[in-house]
Structure 1
Amino acid sequence: MLKASYLTQRNSALLSLIIVSTAVFLSVLDIFIVNVALPSIKTGLHGSDADLQLIIALYLLGHAIFLVTAGRLGDYYGRKRMFIIGMTLFVISSCYCGFANTPLQMNAARFLQGTGAALMLPQSITYIQLLFPDPQQRIKALGIYGSIAGTASIIGQLLGGILPDLHTPIAGWRLIFLINLPIGITAIIAAWKMLPETNPEKDKKFDWMGVFILTITLCFLIFPLVYGRELGWPAWTQLLLVASIVFLFIFVKQQLKKSADALIDMRLFRFKDFKIGLLAVLFYFMVQDSYFLINAILMQTGLGYSSSAAGILFVFQGIGYVIASIWSIRLVPIYGKRVLQTGIGIMVITLIAHIFFFTLNTNSFTMLSIILFAYGTGCGSVLPSLLTMTLKSIPVGNAGTASGVFTTLQQTAIALGVCIPGGLFFYIIQQTGYIPAYQVATSVNIGLLLLTGYCLYKLPEA
């Protein structure tokens, strides 16, 4: 638990919230800024479609593998220490990304970057749980946290479009990684000087075997999904997918045996809203990043939009997100899950509008801006409160592990979205072209959103 002197100082709590929110700002920034800049990165590194998917998927894989581990490391060694270590790794690997010369170098750096994000992100979520013990204040704090993520998405989309078009001594796409340095270094210094430390819980054993089995499970799942389509699904990709299911079963059995010292406290799954909320997270985040991947590729490679034009268009989506997220913070305590269900409905309707717009090829910048803005309002109504809805019944003592499970599933779902709807998009492009590929991939995303809406419907009322 946090030292009492910190918990009694509201200004200290707010300052700490700002510091730890740099974790979600940078981790989200580096998803969205890369999405828009992918065509420029592909050209600069002479990469393939699979390399493009790996630039996203390996970042998410590093993120997913170590999130639960990072939550437990924060319990064991102290959250301030792990936050600073994670931010430092993120800054160093961002620098490596900025100077990569081959797809292999880039993807190795992206994996390390995702690992750094994983180490710092669970600490930030747990700090919020501890710094704001009052449920209403915690909802507001998580709402601010979600709004910061939304702001990062706007900035990322804008910079991801503008920076690759700049004529600078360094290729513009490299700057999208190097801008992390001043933000990250400032956050490290601020955390070192001002962030309160938590009391380490070294009386508990660390579950290294659980870490190993979970790592193997996620690697066996993600790699064949990324490479299978490009390689024609050779036998090894199919075997790895089967093995991932086997290792998941082994992991669950191992965690049940470990009980108190387990990497994941399986008692968390006794909470109905936690279980259903995780299913909603799975379906929702499969849409989240695949949406930006297929739209960025369609606009720039398929329809000839410049990266700047695509970036500016995506900013309208981000503006809609921020506006809706601010309102949702106020409305969720009153109307509960109905706010999120409304957001899902808006997203479904606007994805249908996306399909009609690109199929008819109306080429209206204004109309597309309105569609993207509306889609963003749907996202903003869902995303900031999805974490709150999922973790609302979890005891504070289990906040670190629960937030790690939430974010691990979130990042794994994003990677699955990149691999499944995204992989389907790339496959159909080769068969029939960009518009049919977009229609199919976006229809899959609509189906996933409908499943998300069903899960929200099944969530218990507050």
Structure 2
Amino acid sequence: MKSQELKLLIILFGQLLAIMDIFIINVSIPSIQRDIHVSNGDMQLIIASYLIGFASFLITGGKLGDVYGRKKIFIIGLVVFMLSSIICGLSSNSWVLIISRFVQGISSALMSPQVLSMIQMLYPAHEERTKAMGWYGVTIGLGTIAGQFLGGYFSSLHIMHEAWRLIFFINIPICLLAIVLGLKILEESKTTGTAKFNVSGVVILVLGLFCFTYALTSSEQGQFDGKSIFLVLSSIALLFYFIKNQRNRAKKNQSYLIDFTLFTYKNFNLGILAVSFFFIMLDSYFYILSVFFQEGLKINPLDSGEIIVFQGLGFILASVFSTKLIVRFGKKILIIGLLLIISVLIVQAYLFTEGVSWVLLYALLFIHGVGVGSIIPSLANIALAGIPKDLIGNASGVYITFQQIAAIIGIIMIGSVFYYFLGEKPLVANYQKAFEMAISSNIVCLFAVIIIIAKVPDHILPGKNKYD
């Protein structure tokens, strides 16, 4: 294996862990609740705490890599992820699990921006970077599938008492392998200069993002009350102050956390907008699909998970093969992929009814996965193309932060549309109507992505003809 490919494999271990542990706990919920006596409210916090820690520290993680070294922060992230996974697996009560899951999220936020940054550093040429981003997409697909599969598999084992603890212990050998190889093979890279780390900026930003994501994840569970409104308003005030503070520090040549010159790059702004609309669609789709399958079509959880695996298979396949097409035809492939997703959503809205054929479910989810897999890797490529090396970690952190927050917003906004049309005492017809209206909202988001992609300059994702 070439040195460059081995380095890519090592850093993708970090992305695999970050994605896998978002999903791995979901199927294990009943087992965890039974064994350590966790209430429904605490279980929701266990799930949400990882996402809150992840989203709140992504920008900080990216900046840490820029200032102190991307390899160093990546390895630290792996070590903290492994230690927090061990504590998760040994947890004897809900609060230990909530706190250790929060720390897991923070460690994922240390790793993920370094993954995107190091891919940009390893593959500066457009064609090679596009292929590498295809493997980045494959990793996301594998993490999604592995998380759901391993969560169900370990929770159903009878070889040990409380077998669900293995969903956290499985991270240990992966982390150890990545740490050992990373220390030996990865090369260090960081921003040149002696800029200090802006600690006060971190505190303000993390508090602002924490308030916002905590309020959103609470409202996702139907708890949007006075406390949530207060947290959102506090978050807006903190983030507004953060922006003003960072601009003033930049003018005075003091250290800062976000370099706002990032937003002078047209492709970065378009990439941020595109990934936001796309993830508003994508995560809300999975959330609503799970509810619709189990409550509307009365498909049991195990079979629902099996159906969604076909989506992941399509995602992985497209992540590999679409990169060759993008290198040849440029952004036209993204627009075709988006139109494919829109088409399959329309078909799903009309054909996903009681008694629907299992073959049809598998086929339509697989095609949906093909569409999604052809899009996600290139959205990061659009946002980060041409960003200077000294800004790449910062840009990666901002990009993934928008992605994660958009995902939560999508679940809340489009989930609210779904539940509005569902009503209080829903029948099968109500589920069908609610699903159709939610899918319509998803399609609006996808058309917004098409408009944004059309505005991306041709040199950002050039086809082969651009080099002729």
Query: Normalising to structure 1: TM-score of the pair?
Result: 0.88
The answer to whether the aligner puts 1:178 opposite 2:172 as a matched pair is: no
Determine the structure 1 residue equivalent to 2:414: 421
Instruction: Quickly say closer, same or farther: Cα 1:110–1:289, change in 2 above 3 A.
Output: farther
The answer to whether the aligner puts 1:386 opposite 2:383 as a matched pair is: no
C-alpha contact 1:160 1:311 (8 A) present in aligned 2: no
Query: What's the % identity of the aligned pairs?
Result: 39
- After the TM superposition, which of the residue ranges 223-232 and 77-86 deviates more from structure 2? 223-232
Structure 1 Cα separation of the partners of residues 109 and 333 of structure 2? 29
Structure 2 Cα separation of the partners of residues 298 and 47 of structure 1? 26
C-alpha contact 1:161 1:311 (8 A) present in aligned 2: no
The answer to whether the aligner puts 1:356 opposite 2:347 as a matched pair is: no
Structure 1 Cα separation of the partners of residues 220 and 124 of structure 2? 47
Structure 2 Cα separation of the partners of residues 445 and 38 of structure 1? 28
Determine the structure 1 residue equivalent to 2:56: 65
Structure 2 Cα separation of the partners of residues 166 and 304 of structure 1? 26
Structure 2 Cα separation of the partners of residues 289 and 56 of structure 1? 15
Give the letter for the 1:380 counterpart.
Answer: G
Alignment of 1:167-246 (within 5 A): 167-198=158-189, 201=192, 203-228=194-219, 233-246=224-237
Shift of the alpha carbon at 1:392?
Answer: 1.2
Instruction: Quickly say closer, same or farther: Cα 1:35–1:357, change in 2 above 3 A.
Output: farther
Determine the structure 2 residue equivalent to 1:404: 397
- After the TM superposition, which of the residue ranges 366-375 and 211-220 deviates more from structure 2? 211-220
C-alpha contact 2:297 2:354 (8 A) present in aligned 1: no
Structure 2 Cα separation of the partners of residues 33 and 168 of structure 1? 19
Per-residue deviation, residues 141-177 of structure 1 (Å, max 9, x unmatched): 2222222222222323333444433334244543333
- After the TM superposition, which of the residue ranges 290-299 and 56-65 deviates more from structure 2? 290-299
Shift of the alpha carbon at 1:352?
Answer: 3.1
The answer to whether the aligner puts 1:136 opposite 2:130 as a matched pair is: no
Give the letter for the 1:187 counterpart.
Answer: A
Structure 2 Cα separation of the partners of residues 142 and 380 of structure 1? 11
Determine the structure 2 residue equivalent to 1:451: 448
The answer to whether the aligner puts 1:320 opposite 2:314 as a matched pair is: yes
Shift of the alpha carbon at 1:43?
Answer: 6.3
Structure 2 Cα separation of the partners of residues 38 and 446 of structure 1? 31
Shift of the alpha carbon at 1:223?
Answer: 2.0
Determine the structure 2 residue equivalent to 1:25: 16
Instruction: Quickly say closer, same or farther: Cα 1:213–1:199, change in 2 above 3 A.
Output: closer
C-alpha contact 2:56 2:213 (8 A) present in aligned 1: no
- After the TM superposition, which of the residue ranges 286-295 and 82-91 deviates more from structure 2? 286-295
Structure 1 Cα separation of the partners of residues 94 and 436 of structure 2? 29
The Cα RMSD (Å) is 2.8
Instruction: Quickly say closer, same or farther: Cα 1:185–1:232, change in 2 above 3 A.
Output: closer
Determine the structure 1 residue equivalent to 2:338: 344
C-alpha contact 2:71 2:188 (8 A) present in aligned 1: yes
C-alpha contact 1:320 1:380 (8 A) present in aligned 2: yes
Of the three residues 446, 451, 457, the one matched with 1:460 is 457
The answer to whether the aligner puts 1:271 opposite 2:265 as a matched pair is: yes
Partner of 1:431, secondary structure, is: coil
Shift of the alpha carbon at 1:191?
Answer: 1.2
Partner of 2:424, secondary structure, is: helix
Structure 2 Cα separation of the partners of residues 46 and 440 of structure 1? 38
Structure 1 Cα separation of the partners of residues 446 and 153 of structure 2? 30
C-alpha contact 2:216 2:408 (8 A) present in aligned 1: no
Instruction: Quickly say closer, same or farther: Cα 1:95–1:352, change in 2 above 3 A.
Output: farther
Structure 2 Cα separation of the partners of residues 55 and 347 of structure 1? 32
Alignment of 1:14-93 (within 5 A): 14-35=5-26, 37=28, 54-93=45-84
Partner of 2:339, secondary structure, is: helix
Determine the structure 2 residue equivalent to 1:165: 156
Give the letter for the 2:357 counterpart.
Answer: S
Shift of the alpha carbon at 1:363?
Answer: 4.2
Shift of the alpha carbon at 1:263?
Answer: 0.9
Structure 1 unmatched runs, 5+: 1-9
Structure 2 Cα separation of the partners of residues 373 and 76 of structure 1? 42
- After the TM superposition, which of the residue ranges 367-376 and 403-412 deviates more from structure 2? 403-412
Shift of the alpha carbon at 1:451?
Answer: 2.2
Determine the structure 1 residue equivalent to 2:104: 113
Partner of 2:374, secondary structure, is: helix
Instruction: Quickly say closer, same or farther: Cα 1:226–1:154, change in 2 above 3 A.
Output: closer
Per-residue deviation, residues 211-253 of structure 1 (Å, max 9, x unmatched): 1121122122122223247676432322222222222221221
Structure 2 Cα separation of the partners of residues 47 and 395 of structure 1? 47
Shift of the alpha carbon at 1:386?
Answer: 0.9
- After the TM superposition, which of the residue ranges 397-406 and 281-290 deviates more from structure 2? 281-290
Structure 2 Cα separation of the partners of residues 426 and 213 of structure 1? 35
Structure 2 Cα separation of the partners of residues 427 and 90 of structure 1? 39
Partner of 1:197, secondary structure, is: coil
Structure 2 unmatched runs, 5+: 460-468
Shift of the alpha carbon at 1:268?
Answer: 0.9
Count of equivalent residues: 452
Q: Higher helix fraction: Structure 1 or Structure 2? A: 1
Query: Normalising to structure 2: TM-score of the pair?
Result: 0.87
Structure 1 Cα separation of the partners of residues 222 and 324 of structure 2? 49
Give the letter for the 2:456 counterpart.
Answer: L
Give the letter for the 2:405 counterpart.
Answer: T
Shift of the alpha carbon at 1:380?
Answer: 0.6
C-alpha contact 1:317 1:374 (8 A) present in aligned 2: yes
Shift of the alpha carbon at 1:277?
Answer: 1.1
The answer to whether the aligner puts 1:289 opposite 2:283 as a matched pair is: yes
